[in-house]
Amino acid sequence: MENFISLEALAAQVQDGMSLAVPADRSGVAMAATAAIIAAGRKNLHLVCVPISGIQADMLIGAGLVRSIETSAVTLGEAGGAPRFAEGVRAGALQLMDATCPAVLAGLTAGQKGVPFLPIRGIIGSDLMKARPDWKIIGNPFAPDDPIVVVPAIRPDVALFHAPEADRFGNVRIGRQAELATMAYAAKATLVTVERIRETSLLADENSAAGVLPALYVTAIAQARNGAWPLGLWGEYPVDDAEVARYARMARSVDGFAAYMEAFMRRPEAAA
């Protein structure tokens, strides 16, 4: 496969104004690639969180790369709220498209299937309908007096995530993280960082092939060891809770965030 590239080259495929889909902290977050994107100075990104995000979104927002975000939540979990996200919303510097987890996943599924929208339950009567004029209430064509919400398709320009491994043919092991496949199916391009690259095909074993994203849906791959740090990666290493807590403390102020990011960007993994 010709699509094995450097981390910098992978980050360069994220251009100004693009929509970027990223997974939840537990699902394989490409933190090394995030550092490379920040270093490249991209602007006016629209972030689609699948269906939530944490330190990745907070860093991108704090670095001034994000103009809008569609998400169910941005949180640092046990470390508390995401300070740069919260400040961006309070200051009006960030357009927030508030959503629910099912709505985000339904929009991506519609994008994957090439249909303009998908219906979902459970939103009628909530304040979300006031905040999301692009969500519509229609009548169920198969049952009278049954209004239902439809959400528009989400088709990101780029899906970005980190995984344990890829093979030389461009297939990527995603295990049980089904939302990574949904992102890749819906996106126009899928950029993946991995811990390692193996020589034998990940699709050769019938017992594990179902947890592999085929190369057909993968645009480019870069190797980045410890590429999810300080977050964890399933089956590889745990989240560095102390580091996430340190970020949460420092990022409460603009100066503290800048000091943290200066050190974070100098890490060898950020330029691997």
The DSSP result for 40-61, as a single string, is HT--SEEEEEES-B-HHHHHHH
Say if residue 205 is exposed, middle or buried (CB neighbours under 10 Å; 0-12, 13-18, 19+): exposed
Q: Which residues in the chain are classed under CATH 3.40.1080.10? A: 7-100+155-271
Tens digits of residue pLDDT in 135-185: 999 999 999 899 999 999 999 999 999 999 999 999 999 999 999 999 999
E strand or H helix at 167, and its extent?
strand 158-167
Q: How confident is the model at residue 229 (pLDDT cuts 50, 70, 90)?
A: very high
How far is the CA of 187 from the CAs of 19, 46, 190, in angstroms? 9, 13, 7
Q: Average pLDDT for residues 76-102, to the nearest whole number?
A: 97
Position 257 pLDDT exceeds 70: yes
- Summarised one tens digit per residue, pLDDT across range 187-218 is 999 999 999 999 999 999 999 999 999 999 99
N-terminal to C-terminal alpha carbon distance within the chain: 20
User: Above 60 in pLDDT, residue 272?
Assistant: no
β-pair partners for 150: 119, 136
Q: Is residue 268 pLDDT above 90, yes or no?
A: no
- Which two structure tokens, joined as six digits, stand for 108? 């991506």
pTM: 0.96
CA-CA distance, 245 to 236, in Å (whole number)? Answer: 21
Whether the link from the prior residue into 152 is cis, omega within 30° of 0, is no
**Please, which pLDDT band fits residue 270 given cuts at 50, 70 and 90?**
very low
Domain 7-100+155-271 adopts which CATH fold? Glutaconate Coenzyme A-transferase (3.40.1080)
For residue 108, the model assigns a pLDDT of 98
In this model, does residue 1 exceed pLDDT 70? no
CA dist., res. 223 & res. 166, Å (int):
9
Q: Provide the token pair at 230.
A: 């300080």
Q: What is the pLDDT of residues 134-147, one digit of tens each?
A: 999 999 999 989 99
Characterise 217 by phi-psi region: left (phi > 0), alpha (psi -120 to 50), beta (else): alpha
